[in-house]
Amino acid sequence: MLLNEILALSAEHLWLVAVAVITAAAIAGPLAVLLTRHARPRRWTLAAVNVIQTIPSLALFGFLLPLPLIGGVGKRTAIVALVLYALLPILRNTVVGIMGIDPHVRQSAVAMGMTDSQILRSVELPLAMPMILAGLRIATVTTIGTATIAAAIGGGGLGTFVFRGIAMVDTKTILAGAVPAALMAITADEVLEWVERRFSV
C-alpha cells in the first residue's frame, strides 16, 4: 500500500522535474547563445537570474501563488517556480562554456569562412557540451530537491510525504518521501555525469 503510493509519488516527482528541466533548458539554451553574442544584456540577465536563485524556494512559491495565470495552488505554479530555479545553472554554464573557448579557435573558424550558425553548431556547441551537460546535471539534481517543497502549494510529488510526515510528526512518513528523493538525485547525478564524460574532448 505504502509502496504503491511511494511509486506513484516518485513518478509524479520525476514528471515534475522532467517538465521543469526540459522547459528551463528550452528557454536557457537559446537565451544563453544569444547572450554570448551581446555583452551588455549578458551581464544584467545573468545578474537577474542570479537574484532569482537567492530567493528561498518556499518564499518563491509563496510569491507566485497570488499571480494571475501562472499562480494559484497546483502543479502549474510549482513547475513555474522549478523552471525559474533551473534556469541559472543551465544559462550560466552554457554562456561560460561558449565564452571559455580558446579565442584562437573561434578566430580560425571565422577566418576560414564559417558562418555564425556553422560556428555555433560545429565549433561552439561541441566544445561547450561538457559544460552545458554539467549545467543540466546541476539543474536536475537541485530540481529533484526543490520539487519536494512543491507539495506545499499542491504540486504533488514526494514532498507530499514530507509535509504529511511533518504534520503528523511521523519520521517514517517523512523518510518515505526524503529517501526516494535522495536516491533519485544520486541516480540522476551519476547517470548525467556518465553522459558528460562521454562528451568531454
Partner 1 sequence: MNGLPEANINYDGPMAALVEFQSLTYEIAGRAVLRGIDLRIEENETVVLLGRSGSGKTTLLKMVNRLLEPSSGAVLFSGKSVTASDPITLRRGIGYVIQEGGLFPHQSVAQNVGLVPWLQGWPEDRIAARVRELLEAVGLSAAVYAGRYPKQLSGGEKQRVGIARALAADPPLLLLDEPFAALDPITRFEMQQHFSRLRKAYGKTALFVTHDIREALLLGTRIALLHEGRLDVVASPDDFLRTESVHARAFLATLNEWSPN
Binding site for partner 1 (CB under 8 A): 102, 104-105, 107-115, 118, 123, 126-127, 201
CB of 89 closer than 8 Å to CB of 139:
yes
Instruction: Give 40 or 102: the residue with its C-beta nearer to partner 1.
Output: 102
Residue 124 DSSP label = I
Smallest distance, Å, CB 122 to partner 1?
8
Smallest distance, Å, CB 110 to partner 1?
7
7: closest CA among 189, 159, 158, 178?
A: 158
| Angstrom distance (rounded) from CA 65 to CA 193 | 35
CB atoms within 10 A of CB 154: 16
Smallest distance, Å, CB 194 to partner 1?
19
Residue length of the chain: 201
| Angstrom distance (rounded) from CA 27 to CA 9 | 27
Instruction: Give 58 or 110: the residue with its C-beta nearer to partner 1.
Output: 110
Smallest distance, Å, CB 102 to partner 1?
8
